[in-house]
Structure 1
Amino acid sequence: MIDTGTVGKTRDVGWQIGVSKTLPYPIDAVWSLIVGDPSLWLGAGSEIPHDKGVQWQSDDGTTGELRSRHESDRVRLTWRPSTWSHDTTVQVAVQATPAGTVLRFHQERLAGPGERQQQRGHWQAALARIERALERSTGTA
């Protein structure tokens, strides 16, 4: 349920942000890149575990735990940069459409509106890196 007085804040998960883009590529190509090269969105040195409850870490000290992984659909995990004092939850999801694949990032349990705005930029940059990687891998750059 959305708190109608504050954009981006819900009663259930607090501050949240979502960004998405329809990419002109098949879902298999997008999913393979998301799970095969998570450095594009989780950070260098990161790998997405296959089993629920397994920890992950990137080279910059961001850590988390896999909550769920549904192949060719979504990954849900906790996400906590080394400079933060709290965990957030990130979900990345793909959905096939006639125009290609919708790629969505959703992050919840953010500390406030400033962190929400910061993370909007973070996920928009991640989408751009993924799109460039897809262009390079398919020769459409």
Structure 2
Amino acid sequence: MTVAAILSGKGRGVTTAAIDTTIREAVHILAERRIGALVVVDASRRIIGIVSERDIVRALDRFGTEALDGQVASIMTARVVTCSDTDTINHVMERMTEGRFRHLPVVEEGRLAGIVSIGDVVKARIQQVEREAEEMRAYIAMA
């Protein structure tokens, strides 16, 4: 199973932010949308960075509530690990586990084309394992 299969089920919509979005605005968007990360993009949807709940918590710990008036550019991860829709679920899960991050933007031709979370990947993997188990039971029953 590939990232494309996940995106075909959940859609390719991604909540994004501009580089000058304040951290306060980012907090509001994350809470309102019930999501864990915002992809920071330029006008042509090229990824500039990613800001997660974890980044915001660290900023609050370091700078207090004054951090909320800063821009996401000051706390975002600028070296964003990405994937393509042809990557397998196992490969993506491995990258996320090794990198210790929970959101992986999907890029096509240098532009943002979707995002997968660790929850999306785990759900897809469980479905894959259940399907394989059912196929095995059917095979054994026919033998």
Greater fraction of residues in strand = 1
**Structure 1 length-normalised TM:** 0.35
Greater fraction of residues in helix = 2
**Structure 2 length-normalised TM:** 0.35
